[in-house]
C-alpha cells in the first residue's frame, strides 16, 4: 500500500474515532513516513521542517480571535444579536412562514459575504470568527442545523476561487493552475491560456452547487435544537451596556482599520492587532482586562492554529517520503488504455493528496507535472486537462480535517462549544462536495 494512502486512512480513522485532529495528524505522519522507508529521525526532521509553513497562519488566526473577542466585549455583537432575535421574534409571531424566509435570507447573506471575502475584499476566512458567533442566537431561535450552515460557508469560500479569476481566484486559476499546466506541458504540445481555466472549472462548479442544494434542501433541512442562554432567559430582561454614537464610530473605525491594514500589507496578523489596539485604546473595555481578552481570543482559535501547524508538518513528511509521485505514477498500472478510468483514478488520487495536505493551492503544483503528460497520452484536450488537474486539486479541500475550508466554519459555529469539527463540518462537506466534484470533474474530462 502506498504511504500516502495509508497515512490518510490512519488520519481519517483516528478522527472518526474522536481522536484529536492534531494527534491524528502526528500519528499519521509517523506511520506514513515509516511505511515509506524513512527512519524515525528523518520523519521527525521532515515534520519539524514543515511546521513553519503553518506558523504564520496560526498566529493570524490567534490575533483574529483576539479581535473577535474584543469586539464581543464592547457589546456590539450582543446588540446585533439582540436586534436580530427581536426582529425574528416579531416577524415570526402569527406568521410561521417568516422563519423559513429568514433562514434563506441568512444563507444568501453568508454566501455573498463568503464570495466577497475571496474576491473584492480578499480576507478569506477572517470574517467567520467575527461575523458568525453573534448569529448563533438567531440560528438557535430558528432551530437551524449548523451542518447546513457549515456547508453554506464552505461553498461560499470555495466556489469563487474555483471559477472567478479575482482575488484568490487569480492565484488559483492563473498563477497556479494555468502556469502549472503550461510548465508540465512545455515541449509536449500543450499550452493553455488564463481565459480557459474558468471555462474548464465551470462543470465541476455545477457539482458544488448541486451539493449545496442537497445539503440545505434535503440533508439538513429539519430543525435541530441547541442550548441557548438567550432562550433560557426568555422572561428576564438582560441588561446590556448601551453604546454611544462615539463608541459605535470607534468600533467601525477599528473594523475598517483592521480590514485596510490587512489588504494593504497582506498580513492578517497586523490587521487583527491594529483592530484590537484601537478597541483597547478607546476605552471600549477596561484596560486591565486587555490581557484576559487577548488570551481568550487566542484560546478560541488555538485548536485551529495547532491543526494548521500539524498539517504543515504532515505535508512536509509526505513530500519528503517521495510517496506522492509514486502514488500518481503507480495509478497508471490500474488505468490501462481506458481514458474514462484514467480520469477517475486521477481525480481520486488528487482527493487523497489534498485531504492530507489540506490545501488545493499546494496540491496542484505537485500533481500537475505527472498529470499533464498522462492526460496528453490519453488524448485529453487542453480544457479537459485543466478540468482534471483543477478538480483533482480542489477535491479534498472541502472535507479535509486540516483545510481552512472546514476549519473556518468550525471556528465560528463552535464558539459556544456545540459544533464538532469532524462530525459537523468535515463529514457533511466531504459528502456533499467531494462526491459531486468527482462526478462532474469526470464528466468535464469526457465532454470538454
pLDDT digit string, tens, across residues 51-85: 766 666 667 667 766 776 777 677 666 666 566 55
DSSP assigned state of 95: -
- Mean of pLDDT over the chain: 76
The stretch 419-435 carries a mean pLDDT of 89
Q: How far is CA 193 from CA 45, 171, 199, in A?
A: 40, 14, 11
pLDDT at 168 over 90: no
pLDDT at 158 over 60: yes
The stretch 177-185 carries a mean pLDDT of 80
Q: Which range in 33-42, 221-230, 322-331, 439-448 is most confidently predicted, on average pLDDT?
A: 439-448
pLDDT at 214 over 90: yes
All 3 cell numbers of residue 314? 504532515
pLDDT at 210 over 90: yes
Sequence-ordered list of residues with C-beta below 8 angstroms from that of 75, at least 6 positions apart, any chain: 240, 241, 243
Residue labelled with grid coordinates 466554519: 409
Cα dihedral 261, 266, 268, 270, rounded to 10, equals: -50
Q: How far is CA 46 from CA 32, 55, 310, 320, 445, in A?
A: 12, 15, 12, 7, 36
The stretch 112-121 carries a mean pLDDT of 74
> How sure is the predictor about 131, in pLDDT bands with cuts at 50, 70 and 90?
confident
pLDDT number for residue 233? 42
Residue labelled with grid coordinates 472546514: 406
The stretch 397-406 carries a mean pLDDT of 78
172 close to 361: Cβ distance less than 8 angstroms: yes
Q: What is the pLDDT of residues 24-52, one digit of tens each?
A: 778 888 888 888 888 888 888 888 887 76
In terms of pLDDT, which residue wins out, 221 or 61?
A: 221
> How sure is the predictor about 439, in pLDDT bands with cuts at 50, 70 and 90?
very high
In terms of pLDDT, which residue wins out, 391 or 138?
A: 391
| β-sheet bridge partners, residue 396 | 399
Q: Name the residue among 436, 433, 442 with its Cα closest to residue 156.
A: 433
H or E element in which residue 396 lies:
strand 395-396
> How sure is the predictor about 238, in pLDDT bands with cuts at 50, 70 and 90?
very low
pLDDT at 358 over 70: no
Amino acid at each position: 500500500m502506498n504511504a500516502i494512502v495509508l497515512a490518510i486512512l490512519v488520519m481519517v480513522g483516528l478522527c472518526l474515532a474522536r481522536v484529536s485532529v492534531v494527534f491524528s495528524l502526528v500519528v499519521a505522519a509517523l506511520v506514513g513516513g515509516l511505511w515509506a522507508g524513512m527512519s524515525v529521525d528523518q520523519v521527525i526532521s521532515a515534520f519539524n521542517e514543515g511546521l513553519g509553513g503553518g506558523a504564520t497562519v496560526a498566529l493570524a488566526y490567534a490575533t483574529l480571535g483576539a479581535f473577535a473577542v474584543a469586539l464581543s466585549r464592547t457589546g456590539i455583537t450582543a446588540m446585533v444579536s439582540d436586534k436580530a432575535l427581536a426582529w425574528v421574534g416579531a416577524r415570526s409571531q402569527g406568521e410561521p412562514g417568516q422563519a423559513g424566509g429568514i433562514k434563506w435570507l441568512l444563507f444568501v447573506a453568508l454566501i455573498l459575504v463568503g464570495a466577497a471575502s475571496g474576491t473584492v475584499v480578499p480576507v478569506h476566512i477572517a470574517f467567520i470568527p467575527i461575523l458568525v458567533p453573534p448569529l448563533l442566537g438567531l440560528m438557535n431561535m430558528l432551530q437551524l442545523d449548523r451542518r447546513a450552515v457549515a456547508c453554506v460557508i464552505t461553498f461560499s469560500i470555495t466556489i469563487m476561487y474555483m471559477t472567478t479569476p479575482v482575488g484568490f481566484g487569480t492565484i488559483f486559476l492563473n498563477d497556479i493552475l494555468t502556469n502549472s499546466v503550461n510548465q508540465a506541458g512545455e515541449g509536449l504540445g500543450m499550452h493553455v491560456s488564463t481565459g480557459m481555466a474558468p471555462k474548464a472549472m465551470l462543470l465541476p462548479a455545477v457539482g458544488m452547487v448541486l451539493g449545496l442544494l442537497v445539503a440545505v434542501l434535503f440533508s439538513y433541512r429539519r430543525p435541530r435544537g441547541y442550548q441557548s442562554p438567550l432562550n433560557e432567559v426568555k422572561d428576564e430582561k438582560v441588561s446590556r451596556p448601551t453604546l454611544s454614537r462615539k463608541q459605535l464610530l470607534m468600533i467601525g473605525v477599528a473594523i475598517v482599520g483592521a480590514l485596510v491594514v490587512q489588504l494593504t500589507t497582506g498580513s492578517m496578523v497586523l490587521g487583527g492587532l491594529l483592530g484590537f489596539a484601537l478597541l483597547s485604546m478607546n476605552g471600549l473595555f477596561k484596560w486591565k482586562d486587555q490581557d484576559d481578552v487577548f488570551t481568550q481570543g487566542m484560546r478560541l482559535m488555538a485548536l485551529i492554529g495547532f491543526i494548521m501547524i500539524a498539517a504543515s508538518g504532515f505535508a512536509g513528511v509526505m513530500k519528503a517520503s517521495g510517496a506522492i509521485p509514486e502514488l500518481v505514477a503507480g495509478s497508471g498500472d490500474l488505468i490501462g488504455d481506458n481514458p474514462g478510468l484514467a480520469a477517475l483514478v486521477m481525480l481520486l488520487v488528487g482527493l487523497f493528496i489534498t485531504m492530507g495536505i489540506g490545501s488545493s493551492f499546494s496540491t496542484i503544483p505537485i500533481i500537475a507535472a505527472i498529470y499533464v503528460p498522462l492526460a496528453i497520452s490519453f488524448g485529453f484536450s487542453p480544457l479537459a486537462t485543466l478540468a482534471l488537474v483543477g478538480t483533482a486539486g480542489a477535491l479534498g479541500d472541502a472535507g479535509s480535517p486540516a483545510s481552512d475550508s472546514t476549519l473556518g466554519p468550525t471556528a465560528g459555529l463552535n464558539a459556544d462549544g456545540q459544533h464538532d469539527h469532524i462530525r459537523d463540518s468535515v463529514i457533511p462537506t466531504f459528502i456533499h462536495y467531494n462526491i459531486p466534484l468527482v462526478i462532474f470533474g469526470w464528466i468535464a474530462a469526457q465532454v470538454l
